[in-house]
Amino acid sequence: MMLTRESLEKIDREIAKYPEGRKQSAVMAALAVAQDEKGFLSDEVIEFVAGLLGMAPIAVREVASFYAMYKYKKEPSGKTRLTVCTSLPCRLSGADEVAETLKEKLGIGWGETTPDGRVTLVEGECMGACGDAPVALIDDTRMCCRLTREGVDAVLREIG
């Protein structure tokens, strides 16, 4: 089975929120449940979710690749995606130093994943938070502001 029984039950509960014959409406919630379990959405997971909802895989893939909150990857990626903004205002505020410190501590470069599969480090573009530069985003949901070389440890602790 591609997903655990617990995840399947969660998806069933999401499907039950919609009228009979409308289970496709639960696609976003189902993808979120699958991503919670797997850490990212692979083509295999997308096909599985499509099967559960009676949808064409391409339609589910379109949803997964359209919304930034989904980590749709052809390749496996880390459980947590850490995106560091490297646009100019952040760079002028020290983003390069922060990025170098992160790379050193994690032992990986841009686009790479730690050997334990915990973190993937991604180079990002302006996140509209230049006033708080330099910034990084944990899993596209939690923003870390005014980062410093010393503050990197706190970010890594937050990732766990």
Query: Which residues in this chain contact ligand FES in the complex, by CB under 6 A?
Result: 85, 87, 89-90, 126-127, 129-130, 133, 135
Measured between alpha carbons, how far is 140 from 152 in angstroms, rounded to an integer?
A: 17
| CB of 138 vs ligand FES, minimal distance in Å | 15
Instruction: Name the strand (E) or helix (H) holding 15.
Output: helix 5-15
Q: Report the C-alpha gap between 118 and 133 in whole angstroms.
A: 25
CB nearer to ligand FES: pick between 45 and 137: 137
Distance of closest approach, residue 7 Cβ to ligand FES, in angstroms: 34
Cβ distance to ligand FES smaller for residue 57 or 89:
89
Nearer to ligand FES among residue 2 and residue 126 (C-beta):
126
Question: CA 95 to CA 149: how far, in whole Å?
Answer: 9
Task: Of 25, 86, 24, 81, give the one whose Cα is nearest residue 53.
Answer: 24
We find the least distance from the C-beta atom of residue 48 to ligand FES, in angstroms, to be 36
